[in-house]
Amino acid sequence: MMSSPLADRIRPQSLDEVVGQKHILGSDKVLRRIVESGNIPNLIFYGPSGVGKTTVARIIAQAAGKKLFKLNGTTASTADIKDVVAECDTFGGMNGILLYLDEIQYLNKKQQQSLLEFIENGQVTLIASTTENPYFYVYNAILSRSTVFEFKPVDAQDIIPAVMRGFGEMEKELGCAISLEEGVAQHIAQSCGGDVRKAMNAVEMCTLAAPTNETGARVVTMEDALQVSQRSAMKYDRDGDAHYDILSALQKSVRGSDENAALHYLARLLEAGDLLSPCRRLLVMASEDVGLAYPSAVSIVKACVDSALQLGLPEARIPLAQAVILMCTAPKSNSAIVAIDAAMEDVKAGRTGDIPASLKDGHYAGAQKLGRALTYLYPHNYPNHWVAQQYLPDNLKNKVYYCFGENKTEQLAKSYRNSIRNEKGE
């Protein structure tokens, strides 16, 4: 009776029973209308594990009236795909075939290409699911013939009813009452990280391990729930989308001067045991987002990062938090990255030109005969260590890459520079 996991035993049988995903499965949403129309196109479901991708695909397949085949990208071979395609010419495939392909990202390009002809002419309807960004991992020709729907982690409030349903199902199967200590259902729903399957696994494990009281009821304690679900909320893969999404959120929070959000994303990285990635990103942000508005941030952040790497976790969290808060509360300027990117754009486009002869190396025999550095003016020999002369190539001599930011530090630098040039009639 309980040979399969609880999540499979109580898997929803209709779209109305699916937990979450109202943004695509609500009564007026596109995917819901597509399913109800009966005209199923090629679909790709993208999202984390345990949020309903497989469940929705099965519901669609059952309602499609087509012969259903299931393959998993981790184990499927080209021969398996050819066997499915061969069914198109059989009596059973006369109404079309629906192929549910789980973890499509694990199929290589050749395997994915073998499906093209058949999904294009409609003989095979493809419903594929993936936990990785399909725009990175799915062959472009498959993508262009499919509609992508993103499944999102399920909110804890939406998972609570599913948790209670799970405990109710366990009561029926075990034939005894289940008593929950206060907060158990809420904790399981919160700690599963939006993964309904993980929540159901926690429900099953807590119930099976629960002792019975004097009335014969199984008592699930908060301590049991804590042990079963420890660290389960972490959805993190250093090579996956979550890694880059969290780093992106960290940097954008610092750039937006929101220290609370930045600390949250830093904590997610550190709780997953990733120390190197936030260290590297913080070093970049010190120059890219704080930059010349507070030049000392570079050395302070570098010192914090060095301390973190020497300390290791968990102590590393302290200097890294210091670096994050410092940059969030510091004035911001992106003038440095804007300037270098503008210069790089010219170089990449071939807009370079010959270096002025006065700037070329003159420290070798024969340099003077070539006219190297003959007219160079040594700025330190002039008042204020500045003298007017051309530094850029002729075709770029009036080019401006760097624009002073509006912050106090850069405006002071601008005033100083202008005062020097004004003294020289500039």
Note the pLDDT tens digit of each residue in 154-212.
888 999 999 999 999 999 999 999 999 999 999 999 888 888 999 999 999 999 999 98
Q: Which residues are CB-contacts of 374 (< 8 A; sequence separation ≥ 6)? A: 357, 358, 362, 368
Give me the pLDDT at residue 59, please.
Answer: 87
How many Cβ atoms from other residues are within 10 Å of residue 368's Cβ?
Answer: 11
Top-confidence residue, 118 or 147: 147
* Residues paired with residue 46 on neighbouring β-strands, in sequence order: 130, 150
CA 315 to chain centre: 26
Give me the pLDDT at residue 425, please.
Answer: 42
124 and 47 share a domain? yes
165 and 211 share a domain? yes
174 and 119 share a domain? no
Give me the pLDDT at residue 114, please.
Answer: 84
Number of domains in the chain: 4
Give me the pLDDT at residue 109, please.
Answer: 85
Give me the pLDDT at residue 43, please.
Answer: 94
Instruction: Give the whole-angstrom CA distance, residue 93 versus residue 327.
Output: 62
Q: What is the pTM of this model?
A: 0.67
> What does pLDDT average to over the chain?
88
Residue pair 229/196 in contact by the 8 Å Cβ criterion? no
Q: Which of 150, 179, 209 is the last residue of a domain?
A: 150
Domain annotation covers residue 369: yes
Q: Which of 229, 262, 283 is the last residue of a domain?
A: 229
Residue pair 403/369 in contact by the 8 Å Cβ criterion? no
Residue pair 124/87 in contact by the 8 Å Cβ criterion? no
316 and 398 share a domain? no
Domain that holds residue 257: 241-329
pLDDT tens, residue by residue, 355-395:
999 898 888 777 787 888 888 999 999 998 999 999 999 99
pLDDT tens, residue by residue, 299-345:
999 999 999 999 999 999 999 999 999 999 999 999 999 999 999 99
- Percentage, residues of the chain above pLDDT 90: 54
pLDDT band (50, 70, 90) for residue 149:
very high
Give me the pLDDT at residue 232, please.
Answer: 52
290 and 364 share a domain? no
How many Cβ atoms from other residues are within 10 Å of residue 82's Cβ?
Answer: 12
Q: Which of 295, 329, 363 is the last residue of a domain?
A: 329
Give me the pLDDT at residue 188, please.
Answer: 92
Domain annotation covers residue 45: yes
pLDDT tens, residue by residue, 229-244:
765 555 555 555 678 8
Give me the pLDDT at residue 424, please.
Answer: 44
pLDDT tens, residue by residue, 244-256:
889 999 999 999 9
171 and 145 share a domain? no
User: How would you classify the pairing of strands 67-72 and 43-46?
Assistant: unpaired
